[in-house]
Amino acid sequence: MATVGSVTRQIAALELSNKKPGITTNNSTARPPLHSKHSSQTNVAKLLTKYAAPNPHLPGSSTKSTKPVAGTAIPKTKPPHTGNTPVPEATQPFDIGNYDGGLELENEKRGEKIFGEAAKELALDSSSAQKWPTREWSLHDFDMGRPLGKGKFGRVYMVRTKAEPKYIVALKTLYKSEIVKGKVEKQVRREIEIQQNLRHPNVLRLYGYFHDETRIFLMLEFAGKGELYKQLSKFGCFSEKRSSRYIDQMADALSYLHAKHVIHRDIKPENLLLGLNGELKIADFGWSVHAPGNRRRTMCGTLDYLPPEMVEGKEHTEKVDYWALGVLTYEFLIGNPPFEDRKSVDNTYRRIMRVDLRFPPGMSAEVKDLIARLLQHEPQDRIPLVDVLRHPWIVKYRPKDCNRGSEVY
């Protein structure tokens, strides 16, 4: 069975074979830097974008093209960070691993048909999306590869498109009957609609989606290094350098989302994936809300990451994500969220309300300053993301070739 490592190496090899003369690269066995926007990360972003499904309805885009135009959805103007540049066709096939037959087996057990309004609500197909429609997709268009994981609503597989050029994506299954049972039809629809319109290197791309009688399939960007949460569990905590680089990427991605009036509302390590070069990808838009100018009241998210205004059931804004960024910074460095009380949920609430923040010894003065500025009781007192991107603890560890913080979304 193929490992992520072997796929990474093949992509690295492809990256080299696609190099323009005169551009120096890492050798194929060397590990690329964790976070480097203009070197390997950009190249891999291009390659991953190449795996996006081309839209034959858009000018210049064809599945038969030898120089595929990248992306299911090609924005009219090139947004920052997307790396939506055409790249030459792959010269060697990727090993996507062995398929375990899980989808068919699972469909026998879980695949109940649904009817009526719910069936209409969940008849989701990106070929009929209002903005950036894709080509029509079905399960027959893919070679199935290895399982990547299991989620609440179904399995995720590594797959490759059968038609040339071959694109690799993570195909996520959602069982319609279970969505209906959980009464989350609207939430799922919203998650899909929000994610399909987002293009940022640190936000997991949704290239397209389609459905059959029992399931919805999401064609997601393949996050080659898997779940960030697993890394955090493995190492217990991260170094200041590694944490700073993740928080830099998070702050950039969140400013992009907020500029699009998208509040994530469920930032936590479990909702973050890692790309092939270890770059962070915000995934899971289940709780996110598109709220232009709106203040929201719904209580949602994970307890440890809830800001005081949500604990109190008050109106909240995008500044809930600033608070969560402070909690995340602390958890990366210490291994636990700052207000956690394993014995009592009420105590956690109380500690959040009082902003009972305690720093264990060994943390730098700079990171303590940043966390304290993010974890302010009053949303308007929290440090703006643009200032997070300029904060000494972030700037100190940012790779020299990364011009993060210069974009205005």
Residue 121 vs residues 155, 162, 180: alpha-carbon distances, Å? 21, 29, 10
Q: Which of 5, 75, 149, 392 binds ligand AMP (CB under 6 A)?
A: 149
Strand partners, 169: 159
Q: Does 226 bind ligand AMP (CB under 6 A)?
A: yes
Q: Which of 60, 75, 151, 182 binds ligand AMP (CB under 6 A)?
A: 151
Quick note: the x/- pattern for ligand AMP over 2-21, rule CB under 6 A, is --------------------
Q: Does 53 bind ligand AMP (CB under 6 A)?
A: no
Residue 267 vs residues 45, 46, 149, 380: alpha-carbon distances, Å? 23, 26, 20, 19
Residue whose entry in the numeric block shows the structure tokens 């919805």: 216
**Contact, 209 vs 126, CB < 8 A?**
yes
Which entry of 266, 304, 341, 401 is annotated as an active-site residue? 266
Quick note: the x/- pattern for ligand AMP over 238-277, rule CB under 6 A, is -----------------------------------x----
Q: How far is the CB of 318 from ligand AMP (least distance, A)?
A: 23
Whether residue 222 is annotated as binding a ligand: the answer is yes
Q: In this structure, is the dihedral angle defined by the CA atoms of residues 394, 233, 253 and 60, taken in order, positive or negative?
A: positive
* Window 276-305: residues binding ligand AMP (CB under 6 A): none
Per CB under 6 A, the segment of 13-21, 143-151, 333-341, 364-372 that binds ligand AMP is 143-151
The one-character DSSP state at 8 is H
Per CB under 6 A, the segment of 177-185, 217-225, 364-372, 376-384 that binds ligand AMP is 217-225
* 321 counts as catalytic: no
| CB within 8 Å of 386: residues ≥ 6 apart | 255, 405
Interface size with ligand AMP, residues (CB under 6 A): 15
Q: How far is the CB of 270 from ligand AMP (least distance, A)?
A: 8
Q: Does 223 bind ligand AMP (CB under 6 A)?
A: yes
Residue 376 vs residues 260, 264, 352, 369, 408: alpha-carbon distances, Å? 24, 19, 10, 11, 25
Residue 85: name the closest of 101, 69, 102 by CA: 69
Residue 239 vs residues 1, 97, 331: alpha-carbon distances, Å? 32, 33, 11
Q: How far is the CB of 350 from ligand AMP (least distance, A)?
A: 31
Residue 324: name the closest of 240, 225, 253, 276 by CA: 253
Q: Does 220 bind ligand AMP (CB under 6 A)?
A: yes
Closest-approach residue to ligand AMP (CB): 151
User: CA 266, CA 286: separation in Å to the nearest integer?
Assistant: 8
Whether residue 381 is annotated as binding a ligand: the answer is no
For the annotated binding site for ATP, the residues are 152, 172, 221-223, 270-271, 284
Which sequence positions are flagged as catalytic?
A: 266
Site for ligand AMP, rule CB under 6 A = 148-151, 156, 170, 172, 204, 220-223, 226-227, 273
